[in-house]
Structure 1
């Protein structure tokens, strides 16, 4: 019986294959186009479903996965575990754990407002006749299938819901990162897939505003400012400003500038991009680095006074260089040019103008919701154009430890409160001696298991007394040097006057002698 069936089907299959070959090879392209259109109409009459394709890599962004594809993948992961028969495990950028998604050629269903849709995971094999640049050249995509009568429902609210929910899942499950910029030559001139302008590690700094040694009122002011910024997207759009805010942190070394940045990042749940300006080749690369950052991030340039020649001494340095060049002879000038040529390849060509455009130029509005933080030990050295209001919106002074800051440190390190017996003495000494929070913390930290709060506080009192004496001796020495310098100056003035008087007397005698001879 089965043999008879195959005997009858054989000629039919052969006829179909022959007809298909004739159609492919001999039918004109225009005629095939007409046939295909009418065939599609006929099929759509009996097949009422529509398809939407979401490719893993967009044609214009081949080196980075499509954001829509990634969001859909995260959204579907919640249904994949219960519906798909075959799963694949992926590690997603910034994710805390593995993400299980349906494997290729799997199908799952979803419902939205009572309507059913189908998601199919597929892939299109690459043309193996071409040379593959990467190990995986197959093009993956998601296919969404739904009834055409639900077109408006699916293409508008449903897809928006899927993308928003997928992004929300990514945010909830992501781990924040600390990034640093790669040197230009590390990536070469060609940005291959997987190469990044930034390298990142997990951000695990424990600093918070609770542990930060600072006056509580000042601390609360900064926290309120940050919260207001995070909720002001519509307000910034209304007033026509990019959704970003600049903070300038300045003060002596050891006053907690880096800890402040970490506390801000933990408070806002932002990533941190630590930008090393000296490794940035030029203004163009600086702009690319900005574009490659994400929203909800803090861009940090620490010790900006040391990063580049961005101080207020630009004109003075220029004049000095011109004077030095005039004094050099021709051979020295040639040697200097050769030295400059050798150093030019390793020297950053980022200019003040390029950095200003980075902070508040046209490109600074890309992404939105960013904080830009500069730190410096010597704010007076910076060019005023760099730190004016509007670029660095809030200036935060981090100075020597006050009593309020000390109370925070004492509670954090020793779990003691203000009623402790040593506190009055420490309050008095902090008013008479300058000591940074870092030095205070070092003295408060127990050095062995035998040390208790009394031991640590007594050590701090001795350190404060020593700092007070050293400051007193330093002030006396500076006063002596100042008095000595003034005395030397007066002596020089006296000598000048004596020399001038002697010259004047000689000239007078000479004039009198000439008159007598006449």
Structure 2
């Protein structure tokens, strides 16, 4: 009798629980049901026997399935998380109660981003729910990260996993292509990195540089060659996969200061619609940090290291270190290492691996650009073909480049002074930046004649200065050189004869 009563009581309790469960499912909204479910399961799990079978109980009682999308996947940003964020922000910004506002380019309008944690969506008549989980505490010891959780009924599993998620990703691509803005990134010092803020390895602003290849002062044939190369690269996904090569390309821009190297980078970004990552090597402590920064860059980006010959002493470090280590046994400080060499351990090998090592293939559609004023100072291994695929010389301003500047600044394509300017440009070494400064009007009224006259005068002064420096150099050279017919190997043989002749002439 006692056994029968126990079973009867258990049956009535289960029946009551099922009744309550059915009532919750029918009359309570999803968010409240979720809270009550979590409370109920948390209460039940206080009992030891429940803890043992908790997973089976949850699977038995809950008809829902959850998929989580963390913000980071290993060392990289999770592209699925980013796509979901874009999709939810654009689709539900008109309905959400919590929004974040920002200005789009040129202050034309506001863009609203959803800040709401719970959003209900519908697909093919089925209901599903998105929940954004944010770490409660953000400390260096806390390794939590944001993630989206998608909850849906188990009967919808096939539709959600095979159709809905693909739909979300495709919609995000379309919305991003229409509404995205290019960004200019710079790397933060490693001391400010935290495990829960890995994305703050880079800081960014909106990239609004107006330079294009049409406004770039350069020979038209050279510009056309560069444009064709960039266009072929951006469309070369299948080709690079076919030849078994990582989808990336390197460009070396070299030439004197003021020849438009930075402007060229901006024109590349505007042509390809890529983000720009300005990498400052002097803030990186070692090769590991360099690799982590590379992993945090996105596809469709241009990674720039400007003035590579000045950023790190990579040009002759190997030779100097070898010479220093020959003079010491174990203590490198005795060889006169500088403070920068002691604290910065980014090596040429690490940089080469950054460009085209195994880790460089962990991403796609990247352009790497080096700039330098002194190409001859760079290590040949750094700029060989395959690493820097295209070497582009940014030279002094010549007549074809001048015509582009005249069109940009003065809106003129011909003038009676053009012939004179053409001849002066051939003799001078004036960079496009200086030419542009002379063509820029100093008042509201654009005076073409005055601007061109100023340029002529500047070119004439530049030619005179060039001739003066050349003459001073010739004068400073010693005039008592040996005749050209005297060979080095004969100096010792005839040295005594020259010395005796000199003593006789003094007497």
Fold agreement, TM-score > 0.5: yes
Are 2:257 and 1:250 equivalent residues in the alignment? no
Work out which of the residue numbers 176, 183, 186 in structure 2 matches 1:180. 186
Report how many residues are paired. 463
Shift of 1:390: 0.5
Shift of 1:266: 1.2
Distance 2:394 2:341 in 1: 37
Q: Which residue of 2 aligns with 1:270?
A: 274
Are 2:441 and 1:446 equivalent residues in the alignment? yes
Distance 1:184 1:462 in 2: 50
Shift of 1:200: 1.5
Shift of 1:81: 4.9
Summarize the Cα distance change of 1:411–1:152 in structure 2 as closer, same or farther, 3 Å threshold: same
Indicate the SS of the match to 1:478: helix
Distance 2:460 2:179 in 1: 50
Q: Which residue of 1 aligns with 2:334?
A: 337
Do the aligned residues in 1 keep the contact of 2:441 with 2:447 (CA within 8 Å)?
yes
Distance 1:444 1:306 in 2: 31
Shift of 1:223: 0.8
Distance 2:348 2:256 in 1: 24
Shift of 1:415: 0.8
Displaced runs of 4 or more, over 6 A: 12-15, 19-27, 92-96, 123-126, 137-140, 488-498, 502-505
Q: Which residue of 1 aligns with 2:112?
A: 99
Q: Which residue of 2 aligns with 1:7?
A: none
User: Rg: which structure is higher?
Assistant: 1
Cα RMSD, aligned residues only: 4.4
TM, length-normalised to structure 1: 0.76
Shift of 1:254: 1.1
Q: Which residue of 2 aligns with 1:290?
A: 294
Q: Which residue of 2 aligns with 1:352?
A: 348
Summarize the Cα distance change of 1:24–1:501 in structure 2 as closer, same or farther, 3 Å threshold: closer
TM, length-normalised to structure 2: 0.77
Q: Which residue of 2 aligns with 1:474?
A: 469
Distance 2:402 2:278 in 1: 29
Summarize the Cα distance change of 1:201–1:282 in structure 2 as closer, same or farther, 3 Å threshold: same
Summarize the Cα distance change of 1:312–1:271 in structure 2 as closer, same or farther, 3 Å threshold: same
Q: Which residue of 1 aligns with 2:126?
A: 117
Shift of 1:355: 0.8
Are 2:157 and 1:160 equivalent residues in the alignment? no
Shift of 1:346: 6.0
Summarize the Cα distance change of 1:265–1:32 in structure 2 as closer, same or farther, 3 Å threshold: closer
Shift of 1:354: 0.8
Summarize the Cα distance change of 1:30–1:440 in structure 2 as closer, same or farther, 3 Å threshold: closer
Do the aligned residues in 1 keep the contact of 2:249 with 2:389 (CA within 8 Å)?
yes
Shift of 1:458: 0.5
Shift of 1:220: 1.2
Are 2:68 and 1:54 equivalent residues in the alignment? yes
Work out which of the residue numbers 402, 407, 410 in structure 1 matches 2:406. 410
Shift of 1:154: 3.1
Consecutive unaligned residues in structure 1, runs of 5 or more: 1-11, 45-49, 506-518
Consecutive unaligned residues in structure 2, runs of 5 or more: 1-11, 21-39, 502-507
Residues 233-244 of structure 1: pairs in structure 2 closer than 5 A: 233-244=237-248
Partner deviation per Cα, 1:446-483 (whole Å, 9 max, x = no partner): 22335611001011111111112222222233333446
Summarize the Cα distance change of 1:276–1:488 in structure 2 as closer, same or farther, 3 Å threshold: farther
Distance 1:125 1:423 in 2: 64
Do the aligned residues in 1 keep the contact of 2:308 with 2:371 (CA within 8 Å)?
yes
Distance 1:303 1:457 in 2: 32
Do the aligned residues in 2 keep the contact of 1:121 with 1:140 (CA within 8 Å)?
no
Distance 2:375 2:413 in 1: 35
Distance 2:103 2:70 in 1: 15
Shift of 1:345: 8.1
Shift of 1:138: 11
Indicate the SS of the match to 2:200: coil
Distance 1:403 1:365 in 2: 42
Distance 2:114 2:277 in 1: 30
Distance 1:244 1:384 in 2: 20
